[in-house]
Amino acid sequence: MPNSKQQIAMYFLFILFVSGASLGLTLFFQPRSLLKIAASIIPGVVYFAETDRQIVALTIDDGPDPNTTAKILEVLSENEAKATFFLISNRVKGNEAIVNEIVSQGHEIGNHLTEDKPSIKLSPAEFEADLLEADEILSQFSKPLWLRPASGWYDRQMIETANKYNYRVALGSIFPYDTNINSSDFASKHILVNLSPGSIIVLHDGGLRGENTVKTLTNVLPELRRRGYEVVTLTELFTN
């Protein structure tokens, strides 16, 4: 039989295993109960919509991209799906035609600020300046109604600033870690397992991430249609 020290070590290993497994399950399933707690701590951010309708919002971050955005638009068109594209404003120059195409196809654009860097690291003044700079550029195509802080972290001041300029702030309830896990197969399975009415799906554009999003949408969108889901913009999700 193991001695007392071995028993204690085995006990702690078991606790670590259970804790790790619980954390892994939480990260994979992203339960709405936890998202509700997060939303209650700093009100003003939506993670999903409360609805019984078979409707979900698709959001695409970090575009526009000269190569992959057009491919994403093609897959969306083939599957009669709409999306909210959270665009980084310093990527618009030279890609104006792509942004115009996003809008002309009935999608909406959202504000993802000026650069791909964590918004939480900006001072309140820097965040406000970034928001307004991006807003000025994006509004030349269509007035953005939604803002998503870069990297997903935010504080109360950021929400107040966004609201000051009539923005609503959205994160999501289905994030398949496509910024870290280079697998469209994983992303597809993650989305389909976690799907429920009112979900907000978060995917990414640009380079390899954009190519993976094309593959993911090619896999997922036909299945969503088969299940009877309508894929819409954020504004459509919260007005239906």
204 in catalytic set: yes
Exactly one of 107, 112, 190, 204 is catalytic; which is it? 204
Q: Could you give the 3-state DSSP secondary structure of residue 102? A: helix
Q: How far apart are CA 126 and CA 132, in angstroms?
A: 10
Owner of token pair 């310093």: 90
190 in catalytic set: no
Owner of token pair 């791909």: 116
Exactly one of 61, 65, 130, 178 is catalytic; which is it? 61
The pairing of strands 84-87 and 55-63 is: parallel
| Amino acid symbol at 41 | I
How many residues appear in the chain? 240
| Helical ranges in 55-122 per DSSP H | 68-78, 96-104
Listed in sequence order, the residues at least 6 apart from 214 whose beta carbon sits closer than 8 Å to its beta carbon are: 68, 71, 72, 75
Residue 116 tokens read as 């791909």
Q: Which residues are catalytic?
A: 61, 204
